[in-house]
Amino acid sequence: MNVPNQITISRIFLIPIFMVFLLVPFQMGNIQLLGVDIPIEHLIAAIVFIIAAATDWLDGYYARRYKLVTNLGKFLDPLADKLLITAALISLVELQMIAAWIAIVIISREFAVTGIRLVAAADGSVIAASSLGKLKTVFQIIAISALMLHNFPFQAFSIPFASIMVWVATLLTIISGIDYFIKNKHILFAKNS
């Protein structure tokens, strides 16, 4: 297994770590930053989540730079992204920090896209992530990070940055999902289906 794929797998292993810090009430207290009270557990969870999300850029950069792009990497990378985002959204719903319907919309899109990828894989094709899909992932990561950080530093200035990012991420999720289905409808409606 090459280095980019190892980096991708490390992203998957970071998921339970950030979830433990986000969901287990360790009672570590709060830290006040610019007048925003952030539970220390949530700060640690956000840092681990951001590190995990950054590995998405790192593995892709490394794979392209050293020509180590593989079909396994094309499959694992979006899967790791979906696991990371899904785990974060479900955790945030549990903490009542995001509406369940938003999480359902985002997660449903991810399952649907994964379904198309599986159908394509059965025919020997691998569908890489699109630019719009990557942009959607960036905004999802920003939104989730802002929620975990309790809208820091924007809360100090009464700017609902986290909420705005959630709406942008949700809109991009819907748009990129529609785009993905339009571009890959031939897979779903192939004569042998």
Residue 169 lies in a domain: yes
For the chain, the 3-state helix, strand and coil shares in percent, each to the nearest 5, are 75, 5, 20
In this predicted model, what pLDDT tens digit does every residue of 138-193 receive, in sequence order?
Answer: 999 999 999 999 999 999 899 999 999 999 999 999 999 999 999 988 887 875 55
Q: What is the pTM of this model?
A: 0.90
Residue 30 above 80 pLDDT?
yes
Owner of token pair 């809360």 = 155
Residue range(s) defining the domain that contains residue 113: 3-188
Token pair belonging to 122: 């059965």
Task: List the one residue out of 65, 33, 3, 60 whose CA is nearest residue 154.
Answer: 33
Distance, in Å, from the CA atom of 11 to the CA atom of 48, rounded to the nearest integer, reads 10
Residue 193 lies in a domain: no
CATH number of the domain where residue 19 is located: 1.20.120.1760
Strands 30-33, 36-39: pairing is: antiparallel
- Which helix (H) or strand (E) is 127 found in, with range? none
Give the number of other Cβ atoms within 10 Å of residue 126's Cβ.
13
Task: List the one residue out of 188, 184, 146 whose CA is nearest residue 165.
Answer: 146
Give how many domains the chain has, as a whole number.
1
